[in-house]
Amino acid sequence: MDSTALTAAALDRLRNIRLYAETYGCTYNFGDTEKVIEIARSQGCTITDTAEDADAVLINTCIVVARTEEHMYERMRLFAGKTLIVTGCLPGISADRVLSVHPDAYIIDPDLIHSCYREVGTVRAGDHAVLQIAKGCNGHCTYCITRFARGKLVSFPLEDIVEQAQEFVKAGAAEIQVTAQDVSSWGMDRTDGLRLPDLLRALTKIPGEFHIRIGMANPDTLLPILDDFLDAVADPKIFLFLHVPVQSGSDAVLKAMGRRYTAAQYEEICRRARERYPDIRISTDYIAGFSGETAEDGEASVAQILATRPGKVNITRFSVRPGTPAAKMKNLPEPVKKERSRALTNAANAVYDANNEAWIGKTVDAVVTEVVRAGSVTARDRTYQNIVILSEIPLGTRVRVTITGHRRHYLVGIVALE
C-alpha cells in the first residue's frame, strides 16, 4: 500500500470511534495533534484519556535525536493490539520501518492535516493554544533530520493565521503560542514583503484578554529584522521572552554545524534585546559534543552561558542522524559528550540560581495561565517567568505577585496585598 493510500485510509479511520492521542517533540507537533483531534471530532469521534478506553491510538512522532526515535518504535510496539495511526516527522523519513514495527499502522501526512483542517476550522476550548504560522525550514544544519521530514519553508497566509487566533481567543485562550520550525523566517518566502513583526502587530490588534508567546527564532533569520521585531514586542500582549538557539559558543563548531551566524552575532542579539528591554528573558539551546568539537570549543559554550545569562537553556547531547552531512563526520565518544553536557548543565544551573535570587522580594504583574494541580496555579509575568502560586485563581486573572523564593526552574510567589 503506498503512502497516499495509507494517508486516506488513516483519515477514514477517524470516524465514530474513541481515539487516544500521544504527542512527542516540539510545540508544532502539539498543534498538529490538536488539528487531528478537531478533524476526528467533526467525524463523530470522542477523545479518551487512556489508550485502554480507546478504539484507536494516534502517535504524533519526533525524530530529533536517535533515542527519541527509538522511543517512538517502543510506543508503537506497546499498541500492537490496537488500531494505530502515526503522524509527525517519523513517517516522512522512515515509513517502511514504521510499517515493519506495526504492519497495520495507518499514516497521516502532516501536510494533509492542514488541508483537511481548513474544512473543519473549529478550535479546542482551553487556556493554551498553539498557533502554527509556517511549516518547514530554509536552514542547512548538517545535523538536522527534521528538515528532510518537514521540507522547505512555507509561510501560512497572514489572514488565515489571524482568523485562527481570533477563534482561539473566543474559545478562551489566555496564552497563544506562536510556533514554526523557525518563527523569524515567516514571510521570507512571500512576495508582499511582510515579515514576522507585521504578523505580530496584526495579532495584537485582536480584541480580548490574551498574551502571545513567540516560539523559536534562529539567529540568522532574526538578526536582519531585529530592530523591527523589538519594536513589535513592545505591545503589552506579547511576552518579553526570546527563544534563540545558539547551539555552540564556538565559531568553528557553528560552521561545521551549518549554522549561518557567529557566536558574536548571537551575543549581539542578546545585548540589543536587553538594551531595549533590560528584563527580557532569553532562552537558548546547546548541542553538547558535536563531531569535531574540541575541549576549547566546549569551554567556549560554557563561557558563553555564563556571559549571556540565559533564563532557560535546552541542552542535547549530539546524536548522529542517518542521511545528514554530520553522519559522515567523526563522532565523539559518548563519555566525552556526557562530560560536555554536564559542564553546560552546571553553568546553566549557576545562572538560573543567580537570576532567580535577584527576583526574590520583587513584586510583579502577572497573568494566570495554567492550573498546576489542585490548590496551585502557574502565572507568567511580562518576561514569561514561571511563577507558582499556592492559591486557586481563575485562568486569565491578572494578579500582583511578590516573589518569595525559587526552585531553580521556577519562581514561587504569593498574591501581593494591595
Comma-separated ranges of CATH 3.80.30.20 domains in the chain:
125-357
C-alpha closest to that of 130 among 160, 165, 163: 165
Secondary-structure class of domain 363-415 per CATH: mainly beta
C-alpha 404/C-alpha 360 separation (Å) is 5
- Quick one: cell of 357? 535570587
Strand-pair partners of 214:
178
For the chain, list residues with pLDDT below 70. Answer: 1-9, 418
CA angle 198–199–204, rounded 5-degree value: 100
Q: Report pLDDT for 418.
A: 62
Comma-separated ranges of CATH 2.40.50.140 domains in the chain:
363-415
Helix (H) or strand (E) holding 347: helix 334-357
Q: Model's pTM, two decimal places?
A: 0.93
Comma-separated ranges of CATH 3.40.50 domains in the chain:
3-113
The CATH number assigned to the domain with range 125-357 reads 3.80.30.20
Task: Please count the other Cβ atoms lying within 10 Å of the Cβ belonging to residue 35.
Answer: 23
> What's the N-to-C CA distance of the chain in angstroms?
66
Helix (H) or strand (E) holding 398: strand 398-406
Q: Report pLDDT for 119.
A: 86
Q: Residue 354 carries which side chain, given as an amino acid letter?
A: A
The CATH number assigned to the domain with range 3-113 reads 3.40.50
Q: What is the pLDDT of residues 73-95, one digit of tens each?
A: 999 999 988 899 999 999 989 88
C-alpha 355/C-alpha 413 separation (Å) is 15
Using the 8-state DSSP alphabet, how is residue 89 labeled? S
Looking up cell 499514516 gives 107
C-alpha 180/C-alpha 130 separation (Å) is 10
Q: Report pLDDT for 8.
A: 61
Looking up cell 542521511 gives 323
